[in-house]
Amino acid sequence: MTAPERRTIESVRADFPMLAARMNGRPLAYLDNAATTQKPRAVIERMSRFLSSEYATVHRGIYTFSQESTRLCDEVREKCRAFLNAARPEEIVFVRGATEAINLVAHGYGRRALREGDEVLITELEHHSNIVPWQRLCQERGLRLRVAPVNDAGEVLLEEYRRLLGPRTYLVAVTQVSNALGTVTPLPEMIKMAHHAGAVVLVDGAQGAPHRATDVRALDCDFYCFSGHKIYGPTGIGVLYGKMKHLEAMDPYQSGGDMIESVSFEETTYAPPPAKFEAGTPAFVEIIGLGEALDYVSSLGWEWIGAQEEALLRLATERLSRIPGLRIIGQAPHKAAVVSFDLEGIHPHDVGTILNEEGIAVRAGNHCAQPVMRRYGLTATTRASFAYYNTAEEVEALVRGIERVRGVFA
């Protein structure tokens, strides 16, 4: 792979076969990266090569290919440890994605540790995946779910957050980056405040991990999770990081093969973490794909990625702000490359449908974040979310597409 400083946007785009596709007869402008990212050829070819000439199950075989599959997966666990700067690879649990990771913590940690009257604190920015598991746990266990509000710019109101932290706050679950607005939350301050109150902190990094370097030890979060398909890897694989003291105390979320130490009809003892939380045959092909995706991102470097995405965000914000009747929802000073907007008098689904005809892929809906939509008096927005492989020309195509939308509904 070419050194990061020598990569051009053209050479990077050439690494992604899907970016050369056409949609409805037009060149594809893929602006739905917060939902899922496209895959570099390196990931596609690595998974294909494994399936065609290396495939064997992990952990269960004494034959060479099985042992090699196990070694490859162990290597990826170490890559994930390094990616997050976790203390040890045993703190990395493979899951299907961030949603399963949050459910694992809610069931394995929350059910064991939280008692009636305890409180779980989240924010108004959260994705449904970081609301519903806690809501269900609260309903089942007699807990109280508390919500820190945001201001008109989409920033968490830190004084309100501080006020909501109390002696019964046992767990805080907060997004690193809002999928609906792009807001980057002030995690260092929020985690310190939560720990001062005696709470454990889970960070939903599904939208954060693809955009910025994350050091879980520097943050001092107790749990952190992300999904592979949002960071240029395959679907069906993700990572939960947990401090070892918490993982050791947690109950397993699922039971079955390979998560046990011994089984009899009278009693079962569980394997230590991370195996305790990885019941059944893992998605080992996808694990290998995730490892390749992390290698690819690392080869580009966070400085290059950040510069590309920041430039796209500035351009898109400036150009869209000029369009009459268009209101950008969420204008926090610290944002990832997400622009969510409302076009006066035109439903987001209509916006998305017409943009689709122009070859422009955006998201239209509530983005699995209905509470924050209601905060702005909306049921839905149109969302353009950018990755480092997007271009200024695609921003201009988006602007022209929106002008066509306005013309249709004039």
Tell me the pLDDT tens digit for each residue of 95-126: 999 999 999 999 999 999 999 999 999 999 99
| Rounded (to 5) percent helix, strand, coil in the chain | 45, 20, 35
Q: What is the pLDDT of residue 6?
A: 62
Residue the block writes with tokens 């493979």: 94
For 206, residues 6+ apart whose C-beta sits below 8 A from its C-beta are 97, 98, 127, 129, 175, 179, 225, 226, 227, 230
Contact between 219 and 187 under an 8 Å Cβ cutoff? The reply is yes
> Which pLDDT belongs to residue 90?
98
Is 70 exceeded by the pLDDT of residue 55?
yes
389 Cβ contact list (under 8 Å, min separation 6): 9, 12, 13, 16, 19, 38
**What average pLDDT does the chain have?**
96
Looking at residue 346, what DSSP letter applies?
B
Q: Which two structure tokens, joined as six digits, stand for 3?
A: 């050194």
Tokens of 227: 């999904």
Q: Is 259 helix (H, G, I), strand (E, B) or coil?
A: coil
- SS3 label, residue 308: helix
pLDDT score of 257: 85
* Interval 224-237 mean pLDDT: 98
Please report the DSSP string for 168-234 in residue order.
Answer: TEEEEEEESB-TTT-BBP-HHHHHHHHHHTT-EEEEE-TTTTTTS---HHHHT-SEEEEEGGGGTS-
Question: Is-contact 396 29, C-beta < 8 A?
Answer: no
Domains along the sequence of the chain with CATH? 4-39+301-408 (3.90.1150.10), 46-298 (3.40.640.10)
Taking the C-alpha atoms of residue 299 and residue 297, their distance in angstroms, rounded to an integer, is: 5
- Whether 368 is a known active-site residue: answer yes
pLDDT digits (tens, 9 = 90+) for 136-195: 999 999 999 999 999 999 999 999 999 999 999 999 999 999 999 999 999 999 999 999
Contact at 8 Å (CB) between 127 and 175? yes
∠ CA 370-124-220, rounded to 5°: 130
Q: For 61-65, 173-177, 232-236, which range has the lowest pLDDT when averaged over its residues?
A: 61-65
Which helix H or strand E contains 96, and what residues bound it? none
* Residue whose structure tokens are 């195509």: 397
Tokens 């839905």 map to which residue? 380
Instruction: State pLDDT tens for residues 255-292.
Output: 988 898 899 999 999 999 999 999 999 999 999 999 99
In the prediction, which pLDDT does 166 show?
Answer: 95
Q: pLDDT > 90: what percent of the chain? A: 95
Does the pLDDT at position 4 exceed 50? no
pLDDT exceeds cutoff 50 at 300:
yes
Confidence of residue 3 (pLDDT cuts 50, 70, 90): very low
339-369 in b/e burial notation, b at 16+ Cβ within 10 A?
bbbbbeebebebbbebbbebbbbbbbbbbbb
